[in-house]
Structure 1
Amino acid sequence: MNLRFNRLVGWLARRGVSLAGAAELSVRGRRSGQMQRVPVNPHRHADGQYLVSARGHSQWVRNMRAAGGGELRVGRKVRAFTAVELPDEEKLPVVRTYLKRWGWQVNEYFQGVTADSSDEEILAAAPDHPVFRIEIRN
Structure 2
Amino acid sequence: MSEPTPPWWLKPVNKVNMAIQKLGIPTGPVRVLTVPGRTSGRARPTPVTPFEVDGQLFTVAGYPKADWALNARAAGAGTLTRGRSSHRVSIVELSAEDARPVLRALPTKLPQGVGFYKRSGLVTQGSADEFEALAGRCPVFRLDPV
Taking structure 1 as the reference length, the TM-score comes to 0.85
Which residue is equivalent to 2:115?
Answer: 104
**Deviation of the 1:113 alpha carbon:** 4.6
Aligned residue pairs total: 135
- Tell me the SS of whatever aligns to 1:3: helix
Alpha-carbon distance in 2 for matches of 1:3, 1:66: 21
Q: Comparing 3-12 with 43-52, which one deviates more in the overlay?
A: 3-12
Q: Which residue of 1 aligns with 2:48?
A: 40
What is the aligned-residue identity percentage?
27
Classify the secondary structure of the residue corresponding to 1:57.
Answer: coil
> Deviation per CA, 1:59-99, whole angstroms, max 9, x where unpaired?
11111111101011123211110011101112122113223
Structure 1 residues 4-40: Cα deviation after superposition (integer angstroms, max 9, x where no partner): 2211111112222222210111000111011101111
Could you state the TM-score of these two structures normalised by the residue count of structure 2? 0.81
2:73 aligned residue? 65
Residues 12 and 2 from structure 1, CA distance in 2 versus in 1: closer, same or farther, beyond 3 angstroms? Answer: same
Q: Look up the equivalent residue of 1:111 and give its one-letter code.
A: L
Tell me whether 1:136 sits opposite 2:142 in the alignment: no
How many angstroms apart in 1 are the aligned matches of 2:94 and 2:31? 21
Structure 1 residues 96-123: Cα deviation after superposition (integer angstroms, max 9, x where no partner): 32233121333323522554242xx434
Residue 3 in structure 1 maps to residue 14 in structure 2? no
- Give the deviation of 1:131 after TM superposition: 0.5
Contact 1:51 1:132 in 2 (8 A): yes
Task: State the superposition RMSD in angstroms.
Answer: 1.9
Any conservation in 2 of the 1:30–1:66 contact (CA below 8 Å)? yes
Counterparts of 1:87 and 1:96 in 2: how far apart (Å)?
Answer: 14
State the SS of the aligned residue for 1:126.
coil
